[in-house]
Amino acid sequence: MDTLVMQTRHVREMCFQTEAALMAELVQGQHPSLLYIGCSDSRILPSHILDAHPGTVFTTRNIANIVPPYTAAQQGETAVAAVLEYAVLHLKVADIVLCGHSCCGGMQALAHVEALEPGLRQWLRYAQDAQLHIPPEVEGAARLDALIEANVLLQLEHLRSYPFIAEAERAGAVRLHGWVYDLASERVRAYEAEAGCFVEEAPFGV
């Protein structure tokens, strides 16, 4: 038998013991309240960030937590668009969390995007405009952190370019959230529109 299947057996046995009743109920259908859009980075586990249980979070992940704008979806970039349509129009999620993270390789790659392979280069073009919001004098780690935040805001703009999302947000049927997850501290910075900046949660234990 596949060794990967065997490696996960213990975890699946534990989950079956603790969640058997829940999984039997979920066989009938899913009703998640939240759509999580995040990065494919192996260091990120959405369930770890959200303390999510089966059936509560609909998820899509890709390099640099990108949402191609509506115009790109109309031209054939439909993978993320299909997730958005299903989550908002069919599952009726109440919240959409777009989550970037520290040390993002996708954001680091923007500095030399033209040297990347065609697929990566094409994909990261949907994040390139984030660089326009970073002053040239900001360099090093500070520039990367600022770029990660700017990209989250850019992707929120892309989300709102989808008419059905803009309409749902105006009607109060869905709320959009921009987060940045810090790998080292495991804390989250959340964008607050009134303050016009990302606000970091209090340290653990405070």
Same domain (yes/no): 125, 189: yes
Q: In this structure, is residue 88 part of a structural domain? A: yes
In the prediction, which pLDDT does 168 show? 98
Same domain (yes/no): 184, 127: yes
In the prediction, which pLDDT does 15 show? 66
Same domain (yes/no): 143, 114: yes
pLDDT by residue for the chain (206 residues), tens only, comes to 677 667 667 666 766 666 767 666 767 778 899 999 999 999 999 988 987 887 899 999 999 999 999 999 999 999 999 999 999 999 999 999 999 999 999 999 998 888 999 999 999 999 999 999 899 899 999 999 999 999 999 999 999 999 999 999 999 999 999 999 999 999 999 999 999 999 988 676 64
Same domain (yes/no): 192, 137: yes
Tokens of 33: 């309240």
Same domain (yes/no): 54, 107: yes
Q: In this structure, is residue 21 part of a structural domain? A: yes
Q: In this structure, is residue 205 part of a structural domain? A: no
Tokens of 173: 């049927």
Q: In this structure, is residue 84 part of a structural domain? A: yes
Domain residue limits at 185:
31-200
Same domain (yes/no): 25, 35: no
Q: In this structure, is residue 206 part of a structural domain? A: no
Same domain (yes/no): 55, 79: yes
In the prediction, which pLDDT does 22 show? 66
Domain containing residue 185: CATH number: 3.40.1050.10
- Provide the phi-psi class of 182: left if phi over 0, else alpha when psi is between -120 and 50, else beta: beta
Query: Which positions ≥6 away from 181 have C-beta within 8 Å?
Result: 44, 49, 99, 100, 101, 102, 187, 188
Same domain (yes/no): 6, 72: no
In the prediction, which pLDDT does 128 show? 96
Same domain (yes/no): 195, 96: yes
Same domain (yes/no): 11, 86: no
Query: Which positions ≥6 away from 50 have C-beta within 8 Å?
Result: 34, 36, 56, 57, 97
Contact 57, 50 (CB under 8 A): yes
pTM, to two decimals: 0.89
Cα dihedral 54, 60, 61, 64, rounded to 10, equals -130
In the prediction, which pLDDT does 205 show? 61
Instruction: Write out pLDDT tens, residues 106-150.
Output: 999 998 888 999 999 999 999 999 999 899 899 999 999 999 999
In the prediction, which pLDDT does 166 show? 98
Same domain (yes/no): 23, 60: no
If one counts the domains in the chain, the total is 2
Same domain (yes/no): 5, 35: no
